[in-house]
Amino acid sequence: QVHLQESGPGLVRPSETLSLTCAVSGGSTRDRNYHWGWIRQPPGKGLEWIGSIYYSGTTYYNPSVRSRVSISSDTSKNQFSLKLTSVTAADAAVYYCARHILRSGGHTWLDPWGQGTLVTVPS
Amino acid sequence: QSVLTQPPSVSAAPGQKVTISCSGSSSNIGNNYVSWYQQLPGTAPKLLIYDNDKRPSGIPDRFSGSKSGTSATLGITGLQTGDEADYYCGTWDGSLSAFGGGTKLTVL
């Protein structure tokens, strides 16, 4: 059974870089059947997909954050990471990592999800 | 502003049936498969339905999904108080993974 766990600072100051890591257990980030993604949820609001990475290193990013985001993978540690630069108050959210099924023909879903980690951006 | 439109809230009594709609366009739902997620208060989202109408192992058959054209529907029968949650639809849209704005289900 695959399990994902996010980790990283809970507070990031404006203009600084948000860095989070997702540790994967019970599965492998080298599995060619899956991508690995990040999703965020501002307090009291809905879900926003940030981006995903394939075992090969191919990445897909939401255009809304493309200029500021980078997702990378460390297969030796079986984890993947998110970096978001120049953060503002609008980036305050619970950040989730998830296994992302993304296949040709329009098949896409996210399962399972990590428990999430809250990132606060003080004003 | 979400590319997929869901009603903000729905409600029904225990034991009843409820449906939640998800409306999109040809660039998303019309040409891709839909998934549904349940988010209980204070927890991470959980996959309920994938590929429009398939249930992952462990999801009871009280939950069902369907798709027609550019819209999708989540159905829940035999409502329980434990079903009170936010529900999100999701699909692929061009070059990104998109979600609906979410629907809060209240079991009266």
Task: Note the pLDDT tens digit of each residue in A31-78.
Answer: 999 999 999 999 999 999 999 999 999 999 999 999 999 999 999 999
Q: Give the number of A-B residue pairs with CB atoms closer than 8 Å.
A: 76
Q: What is the pLDDT of residue A26?
A: 96
DSSP A64: T
Answer yes or no: do B90 and A102 touch at CB < 8 A: no
Sequence letter at residue A109: W
Find the closest chain A residue to B41 by CA distance: A44
For B44, phi then psi, to 5°, come to -80, 155
Asked whether residue B95 carries a pLDDT value surpassing 90, the answer given is no
Specify whether the backbone of B83 is left (phi greater than 0), alpha (psi in -120 to 50) or beta.
alpha
Tens of pLDDT, residues B2-28: 889 999 999 999 999 999 999 999 999
Q: Considering only alpha carbons, which residue of chain B is nearest residue A61? A: B96
Report the mean per-residue pLDDT for chain B: 96
Q: For an interface test with A, which of B96, B99, B103 has the most A Cβ atoms less than 10 Å from its Cβ?
A: B96
Contact between chains at B95 and A48 (C-beta distance less than 8 A): no
Strands of chain B (E only): list them: 9-12, 18-23, 35-39, 46-49, 63-68, 71-76, 85-93, 96-99, 103-107
Q: Is B25 on the interface with A (CB under 8 A)?
A: no
B53 min Cα distance to partner chain A (Å): 12
What phi and psi values does residue A43 have, to the nearest 5 degrees? Answer: -55, 125
pLDDT at A123: 84
Pairwise CA distance, residues B48 & A98, whole Å? 15
Q: What is the mean pLDDT of residues A9-13?
A: 96
* B-proximal residues of A, 6-65, CB under 8 Å: 37, 39, 46-49, 52, 60-63
pLDDT of residue A52: 97
Report, in angstroms and rounded to the nearest whole number, the Rg of chain B calculated over CA atoms: 13
Q: What is the pLDDT of residue B1?
A: 76
- What SS3 state is found at A80? strand
Say if residues B103 and B90 touch (Cβ distance below 8 Å).
no
- Per-residue model confidence (pLDDT) at position B94: 87
What the block records as the tokens of A117 is 């980690």
How far, in Å, CA of A7 to CA of A21, rounded?
Answer: 5
Which pair of tokens denotes residue A73? Answer: 């993978």
- With a CB cutoff of 8 Å and minimum separation 6, the contacts of A26 are A1, A2, A3
Q: Closest approach of chain A CAs to the CA of B19, in angstroms?
A: 19
**Residues in CB range of A79: below 8 A, 6 or more apart:** A21, A22, A23, A24, A29, A73
Residue B100: the pLDDT is 97
